[in-house]
Structure 1
């Protein structure tokens, strides 16, 4: 092998080794599923590269081709399952079971067909099948990314790199005299793939670390929501409303109340309550712009203050975005054991109500917040789950989601 090519592959094996060491550290912290996925991904990837570079102690070309055909299928199935588990695609047992059965059955079918062919043809068939499995995973991750999956586009980039590395290694296995640029491209793509998987797993690992603390401490531990505590929310309201200028400043008040949190606690315990609150707060933070101030509003709600918001339509659009994000189903864990946090067995949907109020800083803050909260609780009875105070009727009413009608009303 060329010296330059050896250097690139050395970088790849260093990356795989580092990933394996990190997985052992995660295993020591009791997050065994994360450690298993990282360890298996690094070991399987390294073993595949070793085999396809021709470093196995096999001297017969036919035998080597047969072995590589089996290695290609086993690696493709294993990495596909690891990636699906990393992205949370196997949480639903029925869907995950069918996906696993389909992958394994396809692999066995290809291997059986390969034994009816010559060894080189079997290697080509297995390599093409492995590439097809990777392409299928690429389509699945693109679909998830288009639906708003946070790790979706990162996973897409990783799978693209994996396909590049697979194509390069397949070419190397079939043409042992390949020039060093093919080795360099394949090794670089393999390094990027491992780095992407490490990033996704680290995000999952840090999420589980924080979630374990949340389930242990409950609402008294502020990282449940990673927002202002109740007392700090009161301080925030005071700072905004009592910082008076020469003129009253418009401000939008959004109150969010979750109706079924306490029912969840009665059915599944405090850990499920804390997990649900944690997920709702995480979704809220990802939806709300940076200029919006937010904090806790009792144990079952949140308060948002939108500065300089004199336009009801602007605040209503933000409220609708919040509603659309927070009502998505979530799989909850009912275990306090860190090793069992991913064993989500309870599917829950937040029954939320959102009250939207456009006022100004000259209004008493207690009155504004109590009004918004009352509207949020009233919104539980509305189909849109959005409520506002109709000045003409003098009562709480359902907020229009047709922006043309809403703009006409505001005018």
Structure 2
């Protein structure tokens, strides 16, 4: 192996050591997140060590070990990524998936022993690549829902596949592997660790926010980290420029509190606010209304069709199930799954209309939308009544 290859691998293992130290820093405050991060780092470093041949065995025994490590790493990688993507909603589903993955891994181990060592190694490498490709399907689905973890996994999986291919090439043809292959593999490994570390940090930061807000009551602003609308707030523009308002009202929050208690209520309120904050509609201000509603205020709404499109996006964001924590002390162990039932009301009024009246009208419209199949409504000025909006424009 050339000196430049050693340099690249030194950078990779240095990054792995740094990531592992960072994972253990959060062991006390977020034990599960820290363990998942440490597992990802140890798995990557161990895989690289074995496939580089930096272990005290050689020949057919090494190839047999490399095959087993590839199969085991593929199984653990699949479970790790599914966990990061939030695929598991309930503990019974976690157990079922673990049983299935364990059975498939045992079958793969058995099949690998039917081949000679070199062919078994090739089988393990192909299986690891196939698992990375299969996991990409779940990552794409998560990314399309706008979840950050999905995008991070879409970045991590190609890096993992590139590392597996390059290390597999070296394991099969150590004398014919150019330094560039080592460089690509090491850089891909570093990029993979960075993506995993970022995903872990996002999960840790989310849990810190959840712990903070679940201790407060539903009328306390830090629950949503949003400003509260105060009645009588004037519109700065005193002309006739219209103001657009989208109010999102959630009908089943009170029922959630009665079933699972205030901790689950606060968690649900926070999760809904977080989803709406991530919408980031241009020119919009997001405020919390009392009890069960949120309002987007557009002081220069522009095209009404654009406002309707924003309201559809807001409804889609809130329609996904939320995995809730019901305990103040351990929001990581979330067993309750709650699906928000939201209604969206859209209203556009002249700029000289008091903003509290505009919001009150939009809120009433959003509550009327609860009775419509589309869960969306607006005030039809031509007909002088509240009308249903279609889900698609």
TM score, norm. by length of structure 1: 0.89
Q: 2:118 & 2:341 partners in 1: Cα distance?
A: 59
**Residues 45 and 310 of structure 1, relative CA distance in 2, 3 Å threshold:** closer
Query: Is contact 1:310-1:359 (8 Å) kept?
Result: no
Output the CA distance in 2 between the equivalents of 1:67 and 1:22.
29
Residues 387 and 225 of structure 1: CA distance in aligned 2, closer, same or farther (over 3 Å): same
Instruction: Pick the structure with more helix per residue.
Output: 1
How far apart are the structure 2 equivalents of 1:119 and 1:401?
A: 58
Does the 8 Å CA contact 1:89/1:96 hold for their aligned counterparts? no
Contact map agreement 2:89 2:337 (CA 8 A) in 1: no
Residue 402 of structure 1, CA deviation:
6.3
What is the correspondence of 1:158-169 to structure 2 with a 5 Å cutoff? 158-169=156-167
Aligned mates of 2:114, 2:372 — CA distance in 1: 64
SS in 2 for 1:252: strand
- On the 8 A contact 2:283/2:300 being kept in 1, the answer is no
2: CA distance, partners of 1:129 / 1:366: 60
8 Å CA contact 1:386, 1:399 repeated in 2: yes
Please give the residue correspondences for 1:11-410 in structure 2 after superposition, counting only pairs within 5 Å. Answer: 11-29=11-29, 31-59=30-58, 61-93=59-91, 95-177=93-175, 178-219=177-218, 221-228=220-227, 230=228, 233-234=229-230, 238-239=233-234, 241=235, 243-245=236-238, 247-309=239-301, 311-337=303-329, 340-401=330-391, 403=393
**How far apart in 2 are the matches of 1:310 and 1:126?**
57
Q: Deviations over 1:324-382 (max 9, x none)?
A: 22122212111111xx3122211212222222211012123332222222222222222
Deviation at 1:304, TM superposition (A): 1.9
Give 1:68 shift.
1.5
Helix, strand or coil for the counterpart of 1:129? helix
CA shift in 2, pair 1:169/1:380, >3 Å = same
Counterpart in 2 of 1:406? none
CA gap 1:7/1:264 in 2 versus in 1, 3 angstroms = same
Unaligned runs of 5+ in 1: 404-411
Name which of structure 1's ranges 144-153 and 110-119 shifts more when overlaid on structure 2: 144-153
**Shift in CA distance, 371/108, structure 1 to aligned 2, threshold 3 Å:** same
Measured after TM superposition, the shift of residue 100 of structure 1 is 2.7
CA distance in 1, matches of 2:388, 2:62: 70
Q: Which runs of 5+ in 2 are unaligned?
A: none
* Distance of 2:344 and 2:113 partners within structure 1: 63
1:52–1:68 Cα contact (<8 Å) kept = yes
- Describe the shift of the 1:220–1:388 C-alpha distance in structure 2 as closer, same or farther (beyond 3 A): closer
Tell me what 1:408 maps to. none
Post-superposition shift, 1:220?
5.0
> Offset at 1:69?
1.5
Structure 1 pair 350–402 and aligned structure 2 pair: CA distance change class (3 A): closer
